[in-house]
Amino acid sequence: MASSSTKQVSGSSDSGLQINTGSSYVNKPKTMAIPNESFEVQVESPVDFASLKRNGMNLDALMAAQQLFPYFDMLNGPTYVKLVKHFWVRAEIYDVDAAKAEELQAVARDPSLRGKTRKEMGLEPFRQTEIRSAVMGIPITITKEVIAKASRVAPTGRFLWNISRKHPLLESFK
């Protein structure tokens, strides 16, 4: 990705969302051949926990144990359908296979790079799977940390050891 500088966005330096703040923009082609008028964005509807509780399904303990209430609160926010469409038709997944393909392309261009590290090839180190796209010419990278931060949940999972078979949390799963 050819960018002159990057800046952390979202009010916190650890958000993981990277955007280009330099004068160069990326004209990223569409990666999906879907006409805009037939590309439907599913807008999430908030879950009505009060209604579920009235109908005999109390999920409060389950949601609290998994710390998911902030995520459901976020679903009440706005959805910018045109922005979502613009992002997703240009999105691509950068994973281990894409990183290896990038290395092979670098070696194909310059065979003297064979056997060298990504850094020695002049490539960014591969850290984790990313979703890469561009909106209005600005490159955007989304990682699991960005999704967790936007969902207002921790980027790590939670596992409970030695839970009793009669634990109320297990009942809510049934």
User: Across the chain, where does the E strand assignment appear?
Assistant: 6-8, 18-20, 92-94, 130-135, 138-142
Coil, helix or strand for 130?
A: strand
Residue 170: the pLDDT is: 67
Residue 91: the pLDDT is: 93
Residue 121: the pLDDT is: 94
Residue 2: the pLDDT is: 40
Residue 112: the pLDDT is: 95
Residue type (1 letter), 123:
L
Tell me which residues of the chain have a pLDDT lower than 50.
1-16, 20-21
CA–CA distance, 114 with 117 (Å, rounded to integer): 9
Residue 5: the pLDDT is: 39
Contact by Cβ (8 Å): 121, 129: no
